């Protein structure tokens, strides 16, 4: 199962220089939509990098 973002927790990395999940995803599978991260299920390779770099722990594998 691809990574899933808890949109109730995700704050779009407000105040940080970059969006860590977007910046670090080697598959270009994460984008910001309405200020929150969204994972493209087709592109996600379940590498877990986004989970490790998310500063608010808003991403998990289902």
The predicted-structure confidence for 26-43, as pLDDT tens digits, reads as follows 999 999 999 999 999 999
This prediction has a pTM of 0.90
- Compute the distance between CA of residue 45 and CA of residue 17 in angstroms, rounded to an integer: 25
CATH topology of domain 3-61: Alpha-Beta Plaits (3.30.70)
For residues 17-49, b (16+ Cβ closer than 10 Å) or e, as one string?
eebbbbeebebebbeeeeebbbbeeeebeeeeb
- Compute the distance between CA of residue 61 and CA of residue 47 in angstroms, rounded to an integer: 10
Residue 29 has what pLDDT? 98
**Domain range summary for the chain, segments of one domain joined by +:** 3-61
């Amino acid at each position: 199962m691809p990574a899933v973002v808890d949109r109730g927790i995700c704050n779009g990395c407000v105040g940080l220089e970059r969006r860590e999940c977007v910046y670090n995803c080697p598959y270009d599978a994460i984008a910001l939509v309405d200020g929150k991260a969204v994972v493209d299920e087709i592109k996600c390779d379940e590498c877990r990098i986004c989970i490790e770099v998310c500063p608010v722990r808003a991403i998990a594998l289902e």
